[in-house]
Amino acid sequence: RKLTVSLDHCTYPIYIGAGLLSQLPVYLDEVGIVPDRKLMVISDTQVAPLYGERILASLKQQGYQVDMAVVPAGESSKNLQQFEYLIGECLRFGLDRQSVILALGGGVVGDLAGFVAAAYMRGIPFVQIPTTLLAHDSSVGGKVGVNHALGKNVIGAFHQPAMVLYDVDTLKTLPTRELISGFAEVIKHGLIWDADFVQWLEKNSAELLALRPEKMIEAIYRGCEVKVAIVSQDERESGLRAILNYGHTIGHALEAVSGYIHYTHGEAIAIGMVGAARLSAKVLGTDESVVRKTKELLEAFQLPTQYDGERFPEDRLLLAMKRDKKVRNDEYAFVLTRKIGQVEVVRGIAEEEIRAALQE
C-alpha cells in the first residue's frame, strides 16, 4: 500500500507491504535513486546481520556502489560520538552530494542516520527502512537528531526522507516487548484522530498481536495516515503537531524517573495516555467511558495502564514534568481528550488536578 506525504517543499512516498525488502532496487528506482549514485546503509548490530547483508548483496547485484556502517544497538548510540563516526564513514566511502543514505533499523537508527544525512555536506537525501513497529511513527515526519547527556533529542534537524519503505516481514524478528511497545504509538494515533481506527484496533487486537501480515499492513497504514495528516498541516511543530505528544507528558516523566530502563517508551506512554484521559475527565468533563475504553484497548494489547506508585512516587513524577519545556509558572500544559479521536492542548492545569489524576 502506498501513502504520499505532500509538504510545501517536497513530496515523498511511504510504501507498506510484505516482502518489500527484496524489491528494494525497484523502489529506489521509482524515486530516481539509480545505480550511478553511491549508497551508504546505516544500521545497528542487531539489525545488520538480519537484513543488512541481504540488502547489500541485492544492491551490489544491481550495480550500486554501496557500503554499510553499523552502530551498537540501543538508544545509547543516538549521540554525537556515533554521529561523528558515521560522518567519517561517509567521507571514507567517498559519498558526495548526489549520494543517498539508507537508514535500516528502528527509531534509533532512523533518527541518527537521518541526522547524518541532514548534516553531511549540508544535507543529502536519505531513505527510511523501518524495522520496528514504533518506527512507523519515527520514520515519517522528518524529525531527526541525537541525544545530549543533558537531554533527549536536543540536537537535531528537520530533514524529510526521500522515501519510507516499510516491510512488515521484518517485524517477525522483533522482540515481543518491542512489538507491544510499538502498538502504544499505533493506538495513540487512533485515540487522537480516528475513532473508526480505534474500533478497528479493538476488533483486531488478537490478529495484530499474532502479526497477521494483512492486518499489520492495515494498522501501520492507518497509523501513518494520521501522522501524515498532522505533519502535513504543521511540519515544524508550531501548533497542531503537539497533539502527537498525547500521553507523553506523563510518559516522558515516567521514563526519566525510572532511569529509562524500567519501562519501554511505549509502556510509559500507555500509562501516560490513561493518566491523560483521567485528567481530561477532571479538567474537561470528558465522559468516564473514554478512560475505560482507553484502558481496555491498551490492555487488549498487553500494555500496562498503571505505574508502580510505590516505586515512583508522584512527587518525583511532577518534578520531572516541571522540567518539561511546556511548563510555565507552575502551570502545566497537557494534550487532553474530549472524546475518542479528538484531543486538544490545554494550558494552565493546576498541580492538584494532575496529582488527583495520578493517584486514581
Minimal distance in Å, beta carbon 82 to ligand NAD?
Answer: 12
5 is an annotated ligand-binding site residue: no
- Part in contact with ligand NAD (CB under 6 A); list of ranges 21-29, 169-177, 208-216, 233-241: 169-177
135 binds ligand NAD (CB under 6 A): yes
- Part in contact with ligand NAD (CB under 6 A); list of ranges 103-111, 213-221, 248-256, 278-286: 103-111
130-166 CB burial, b ≥16 within 10 A, e <16: bbbbbbbbbbbbbbbbbbeeeeeeeeeeebbbbbbbb
Cβ neighbors of 277 (< 8 A, separation 6 or more) are 286, 290, 291, 294, 295, 337
63 is an annotated ligand-binding site residue: no
76 binds ligand NAD (CB under 6 A): no
Cell of 261: 530502563
2 is an annotated ligand-binding site residue: no
Task: Tell me the number of residues near ligand NAD by CB under 6 A.
Answer: 27
250: nearest Cα among 326, 182, 183, 187: 326
Minimal distance in Å, beta carbon 344 to ligand NAD?
Answer: 21
268 binds ligand NAD (CB under 6 A): no
Closer to ligand NAD at the Cβ: 50 or 87? 50
Q: Which residues are catalytic?
A: 122, 143, 185, 227, 237, 241, 245, 248, 252, 265
Please, are residues 269 and 307 in contact by the beta-carbon 8 Å criterion?
no
47 binds ligand NAD (CB under 6 A): yes
- Per DSSP, helices labelled H in the chain are 24-30, 47, 53-61, 80-93, 107-119, 135-138, 176-193, 195-209, 213-233, 248-257, 265-283, 288-300, 314-322, 351-359
Give me the sign of the Cα torsion angle 27, 136, 100, 90: negative
Minimal distance in Å, beta carbon 121 to ligand NAD?
Answer: 22
280 binds ligand NAD (CB under 6 A): no
Q: 87 in helix, strand or coil?
A: helix
Residues making up the binding site for NAD(+): 107-111, 131-132, 143, 152, 170-173
Residues near ligand NAD (CB under 6 A): 44, 46-47, 50, 73-75, 78, 105-109, 111, 131-132, 134-135, 137-138, 141, 143, 153, 170, 173-174, 178
